[in-house]
Amino acid sequence: MGTIFLHSSFRSGSTYVWSKFRELPSTTAYYEPFHESLGLDIQRLLSLTGDSWNSHHPALNAPYFSEYRPFIEDNRVRNFASDFSYRRFFLGADAVQPGLQNYVGMLIDHAASLGKTPVFGFSRSLGRIGWLKAHFNSFNVLVLRRPRKQWASIVQQATTYGHPYFYTTNFVICGQNRNHPLVRPLIDVYDIPLIETADASRDIASYERVLSGVTNEVGYFIFFYHYLTTLIESGPAADLILDMDRLSADTGYRSEVTARIQDCTGETIDVSDADINRYRVRPPDIDYPSIERKVIAVITEGLGLSPDHPVLKAFQPAAGAALRSPAARSAPAAATRPATWPATWYDQQLAVLQTRLAQRDGEIAGLTTQLDQIRASTSWRITEPLRYATDFVRRVTASGSGALQSRWGSEFPRALSKTTGFGPTTAHPDDHAYAASPLHPRKCPP
């Protein structure tokens, strides 16, 4: 009986995929097996659900970490070590790690003793897919989300909900693995410090204090660098690359994915309700294409890769659709690209968005026609004074005249700016800009 390893980064939709395997009676599904709190505070984790915080996760039939109950000893999971989380983020396939091998093997053996397929929902394994595949009989699924959308979700967790954890972990990984060949080119640009304390939770808290003033531009540079380099490292070892954005939009792709999983693992999951785009986030207002090109230039130079490397080519920011010829917008022939990589990620997403935009335009046209018909009706014109008076009385009753005056003074200019383009504008909650960065570049990005 093989093991199913799900690999992803944070805020990528991977909890949804993991939950689909967990629903099956034939599996034992472990959530985030490298989570640092498994060695520090497992009792807190045992009560944690998607409703405990603004997770935007699917409804679960049990707390995330319930499957670890058989392994609890002194408020920690047996055989877990804190350096599993981030300090050993990158491992070569032939690396000797008996402690890590013993820990993962313990979880696999327990599921097998129950006659069930072990499923691991990793979010800290992207640098170790090759190692895990070499040491365990496994089917490895790499779960990806469009990078700008994923990062915007990370930023919203930090700014709107007060959860900087997901923002900070990119710095933890890069700082604690700064001497790894994949990370060194980034450290030459932004000198992320090495911080190692008594345990992983204190490491994270320390990085949060150091990086509290990082700008969105620096944050996205480091996020996108980490996104691409881990994909370069992990992609070749993955047995299936699961595009979450496409899974949400393409029913045919859903069928392909479930068929592949069923053929390779014997497990049949239901992803008919996949909708990663229901979490709609307005990304911070920064020059994404410019940053992405700089990151790709740093990787190309620092790692000695060709610009035609499949990852770098797939994620090279596209020019605006209006500035590109139809020939440039069409995808190259499938035979000219590796089968495991989406050849033109942004072109694929552009096609999906153009289809949705056309649908929305049709819906708006229909609703506008209905609204015009209502406003032109006799009953609408006759009842207008009554509607105004009713609304006025309701607002005065609810808020008091002073509060009403205050709301009027603050809301009217906003409404004016939205409808006319003049007047004051207000920042969107997702447009948070951090203070000046304490990370002084060692050299300017190209």
**Predicted confidence pLDDT, tens digits, the chain (446 residues):** 589 999 999 878 888 999 999 999 999 999 899 988 887 777 777 766 654 444 455 656 778 788 988 998 888 899 999 899 999 899 999 999 999 999 999 999 999 999 999 999 999 999 999 999 999 999 999 999 889 988 888 888 878 777 788 888 999 999 999 999 999 999 999 999 999 988 888 898 888 887 777 888 999 999 999 999 999 998 999 999 999 889 988 899 999 999 999 999 999 999 988 887 655 556 678 899 999 999 999 999 999 999 999 999 999 986 543 333 333 333 333 333 233 333 444 454 455 556 667 767 777 877 777 777 777 777 766 776 666 566 655 554 544 434 333 332 333 222 222 322 222 222 223 222 222 333 444 444 44
pLDDT on residue 446 = 40
pLDDT on residue 387 = 61
Return the CATH class of domain 3-278.
alpha beta
DSSP 441: B
pLDDT on residue 117 = 97
**DSSP 3-state of 52:** helix
Pairing verdict, β 72-73 and 240-243: unpaired
Whether 68 contacts 42, CB under 8 Å = yes
pLDDT on residue 139 = 96
Cα–chain-centroid distance for residue 183?
Answer: 20
DSSP 140: E
pLDDT on residue 56 = 54
Whether 176 contacts 203, CB under 8 Å = yes
The pTM of this model reads 0.70
For the chain, the structural domain boundaries read 3-278
Q: Residue 308 has which token pair?
A: 């035609």
- How many other C-beta atoms lie within 10 A of the C-beta of residue 63? 17
Q: Residue 179 has which token pair?
A: 């001497």
pLDDT on residue 10 = 85
